[in-house]
Amino acid sequence: MAASRDPNPRTATSEATLRAAGVTVELGVEQEAADELNAPFFKFIRTGMPYVLCKMAMSLDGKSATAGRESQWISGPEARAQVQEWRATYAAVMVGIGTILADDPSLTCRIDGAHFPVRVVLDPLAQMPPGARLFAHPGRVVIGVGPEAPEVAISALEARGAEIVRLPARPKERTADGVPGEFMSCADSVGGLRAESPGRTGAESTDGASEYFIGYPRYVTRGVMVTDLLRSLSQGGVSSILLEGGGGLNAAMLREGLIDRVAFFVAPLLIGGRSAPTPIEGRGFAPLSEAVRLRSMRFRGVGSDILVEGDLESPES
């Protein structure tokens, strides 16, 4: 008995081989549960791209931090324990440079005996401080940098053992309302680490449309840069990613169709504030008919929080 067919071409003849040998084969036993369990593997085999779970914690009124960018901790200890279980399951954990500069996370798995996931950072200008906590633990650290990243900063990161993925840039796109590209909501949330990219200052702007804050572009290229990073990770054997980024990175990956499933912890808090960040920033989706819809929704209590999960509908759905 088998729940699902293996999409790997290498095993395409397995069923026929068994039947030819006189073995009775029954397929589809608990297939729905098996397909959900194997979703990361199936996507990786069929598309060559990693499966991405986007995890976020937010208040009941939809805020992922206060207006002053305080976010530790919105969710409770049980929710944070669930995140550790995901880190033990997924091949990689991914964040943007804003999360590194604001929180200086280690992105490790704290479950005894569990593997250390590959730690991935999208860092277009190579602003990662060489003293970041990521480098204090064993395991792979992969940093995606853009063409404007200073070579001296890249060399410093390589000296700490980071694997550098050089990503091509895509010209910024200006929307109908004049907003260029995607908004990466990290530049104004720096509170933990100081960026140390040589050659960058807080006042720089390349075209008059982008704002810079300690050298980090508030508006960055849409998606292609992230897509190329994920493609490189896939080629290196990374089949699944737990996305723990901020609203800007989430927005960019969502718009490029890179997210497969979302898991939002909703905490019993009301934060308020027009300038307080949300889990999905960017310019959003409009009209409403273009909003991303979810299917296979699930809701369950995790400590004092509610975990809301759902799969993103594919264009064919």
Q: Which residues are annotated as a binding site for substrate?
A: 71, 87, 107, 110
DSSP H helical ranges for 149-198: 151-159
Which residues are documented as binding site for NADP(+)?
57, 73, 99, 103
For residues 191 and 102, the answer to whether their CB atoms sit within 8 Å is yes
- Please give the Cα distance from 15 to 13 (Å, whole number): 6
Backbone φ and ψ for 117, nearest 5 degrees, come out as: -65, 155
Which residues are documented as binding site?
57, 71, 73, 87, 99, 103, 107, 110
Reading the block at residue 75, the tokens are: 């969710």
Total Cβ atoms within 10 A of residue 197: 23
Residue corresponding to tokens 């990161």 = 157
DSSP 147: T
Give, in order, the Cα–Cα distances in Å from 13 to each of 9, 28, 43, 44: 8, 17, 20, 20
